[in-house]
Chains A and B, each alone.
Chain A
Amino acid sequence: MELAGLFNYFFFSICLAGIYAVMALGLNVQWGYTGILNIGVAAFFQIGAYTTALLTSPDNPAHIGGFDLPGTFAQLVGGEGAFLGQLVGQASILIGLLGGMAVAALLGFLIGWITIGLRSDYLAIASIGISEIVRLFIQNEGWLTNGTRGIAGIPRPGIGLYNGSDFLEFMVLVVVAIGVVYVLIERAYRAPWGRVLRAVRENENAVLAAGKDVTWFRLQAFVFGCTIMGLAGGLYAHFTTFVSPEAFRPDLTTFLVWVMLIAGGSGNNRGAILGAFAIWAVWSGSEFITSAFPVEYVTQIAPLRVLLIGVILQVVLLTRQQGLLPERPPKPLVTDDEAPNRSG
């Protein structure tokens, strides 16, 4: 039995670390590819989580929705008892996730439309504002978010392989999500689109001179990144089955994602994933330190973990700014007169 518990803890950790990896990939499109400094990662994460929660949780008179997508869809094809109903209900989770991504993208577009032309440091300042406003909105607009009581009863997808297989099954979903996002943005990175983004990051004026609409490309990258963060939020909502203002610590979430990306290697998608898992290991591993202290000290010792991550960030910045896996931009297309050199 103990072994099963250990495995479950492992699956649980992979799920959470994986959700952070998705966020790190989203941030990589913004910061790593394009040089957009977004300090409001958590805002898009929360928006995705709440949207997905509203779409898939059962109806609650205390707030608008939930729209119980799985139940509704299952009804359409013969009820939740039937196999087809189960299947369609599970599949409708995807619609919930897409909804979360869409709303995060929409917010990203609105915010980006206003602020994306700003200098990077000004954009960073503006993004704290976004984060703060989203936090306040979730806390205060009870008609939509149920305020501090939060939204419960979000379904955790799964086919019930065996008793207690939830985390294992969810882990598969998370790994698939990472895979899809990875393939998609890795291809984008190697495509001409990614080349333009790198050029924007390195030398905006040269791109302007080449006749490209820099602002439009930056906006695309920003919205793309926000969409991925929204997906991470949706996954998180399904994973925890409950969202509330207290469940999120926006400043900490944003911070962790940043450290993950920088430690892993900005601009390198594998680095982002590696960084997410490595920092998550440190973060959750350090929980054991706090559990070693008597209970009355826990509230004081808990911030030690944040301190540790902060120190890691400074050490990385001082000693290895390129991260564990440095960016490796694809070679420029080989021209004819360079071709002979390749054989040598």
Chain B
Amino acid sequence: MIELIQLVLYGVVLGSIITLGAIGVSLVFGILRFAHFAHGDMMTLGAYFAFVGYVTIGLPFWLAFPVAAAAAAGVAVLIDQTIYKRLRRSDPVILLISAFGMALILRSLVQIIWGPSNLVYASGIQLPIRIGDLRIKEDHFYIVGGALVLVIGLHLFLTRTTMGKAMRAMADNVDLARISGVNTEKVVIWTWVIAGVMAAAAGIFLAMDTRLHPVMGWRILLSVFAAAIVGGIGRPYGAIAGGMVIGISEEVSTLFINPSYKAAVSFAILVAVLIYKPTGIVGARR
């Protein structure tokens, strides 16, 4: 029983990371109607940006984090404006293929700049805090807390600001948004800013939980997509539920199956949801 609770806790940590990635995927899908295959590698890039700020330059972490997030957002907008923007009139699957290529480009850049080996933010082993028989690392609190803050921030943005409402309106009905006078290109840029910030945060948290590696983001992309789809792709709030479902399932599954096959769990849930409830488990809007 303790073991199960322990795994659920790990699942919440992993779920928080996946959620942040899935929110970006979901937002981009809602606005631009394509599956952003470079999102995992955008997470990786964000994690390495924080490495530069925190380790290379020596900024305090609370500063390195937003700087890295801003840089990742900048890269996301840059990619959109130089490549994706020119493909918007094409079939969305062309954008998907372009994003797949962009994933490899980002991954290579990370390898060229920072090398192919593992890196860490802080060396040494962090001793877990014991609560009864449960073990929790201090970082886990930061990860879950940080994700919570970001999700609440996103919620406020989407429901309280004009741009946030325009974003939801455009995801809902592009033509009507345009008719209402919404500058859709501006909304697209904001979408990338948010997706970039969320991806960077997810990458940084993932690196805190494990370590930095050029393929870290690509490896978790399947889980991120699974979370977005389970939550109903295009619905950022669903991504939270989806992230938790995927994160907890992956961790708890290690009780029954070889931990190496965590990815298979995401895959199984993903396929099951796609077949039985393509609109996601949270609600039904197409």
Contacts and interface: CB of A to CB of B under 8 A. Distances in A.
Interface stretch (A192-200, A217-225, A297-305, A330-338): A297-305
Interface string B68-111: 00000000000000010011001011101110111011011101
B4 to A, nearest CB: 24
Interface string A108-125: 000000110111111011
B70 to A, nearest CB: 24
A299 B110 CA distance: 12
Given A125-B222, A128-B221, A136 B260 contact: yes
Contacts of B108: 303-304, 306-307, 310
B264 A128 contact: no
B116 interface: yes
A207 B83 CA distance: 34
Interface in A257-273: 258-259, 262
B78 to A, nearest CB: 13
A262 B92 contact: no
Given A300-B111, A310-B104, A310-B108, A126 B98 contact: no
Given A125-B35, A140-B260, A255 B100 contact: yes
Given A310-B101, A317-B97, A122 B221 contact: no
Given A136-B263, A251-B218, A318-B86, A125 B225 contact: yes
Contacts of A172: none
Interface stretch (B131-139, B169-177, B268-276): B268-276
B267 A132 contact: yes
A303 B112 contact: yes
A306 B104 contact: yes
Contact of A122 (B37, B100, B229, B267): B229
Interface residues of B, number: 46
B275 A133 contact: no
**Size band of the A side of the interface?**
35 or more
B100 A314 contact: no
Interface in A291-329: 299-304, 306-307, 309-311, 313-314, 317-318, 321
Interface in A225-247: none
B221 A251 contact: no
A309 B270 contact: no
Given A125-B222, A314-B98, A318-B86, A255 B93 contact: no
Contact of A39 (B100, B275, B278): B100
B35 A121 contact: yes
Interface in B242-286: 258, 260-261, 263-264, 266-267, 270-271, 274-275, 278
Contact of B115 (A122, A251, A299, A313): A299
B192 interface: no
B34 interface: yes
From B86, B98, B108, B264, residue with most partner A Cβ within 10 Å: B108
Contacts of A117: 275
Contacts of A130: 267
Contact of B107 (A132, A258, A303): A303
A251 B37 CA distance: 12
B270 A126 contact: yes
Contacts, number: 131
B217 to A, nearest CB: 12
Interface in A35-64: 35, 37, 39
A307 B105 contact: yes
A159 to B, nearest CB: 40
A133 B37 CA distance: 18
A115 B273 CA distance: 11
B274 A139 contact: no
Given A122-B274, A313-B98, A139 B115 contact: no
B271 A132 contact: no
A123 to B, nearest CB: 9
Interface in B194-216: 215
B30 to A, nearest CB: 13
A310 B221 CA distance: 19
A302 to B, nearest CB: 8
A318 B271 CA distance: 32
Contacts of B229: 122, 125
Contacts of B275: 114, 117-118
Contacts of A306: 104-105, 107-108
Interface of A: 35, 37, 39, 114-115, 117-122, 124-126, 128-130, 132-133, 136, 139-140, 251-252, 255, 258-259, 262, 299-304, 306-307, 309-311, 313-314, 317-318, 321
16 contacts: A37-B93, A39-B37, A119-B278, A124-B35, A125-B222, A129-B270, A133-B261, A255-B101, A258-B100, A300-B113, A302-B111, A303-B107, A303-B111, A304-B108, A306-B104, A314-B105
The 6 A-B pairs of least Cβ separation, nearest first, read: A129-B267, A303-B108, A310-B105, A313-B101, A303-B111, A307-B108
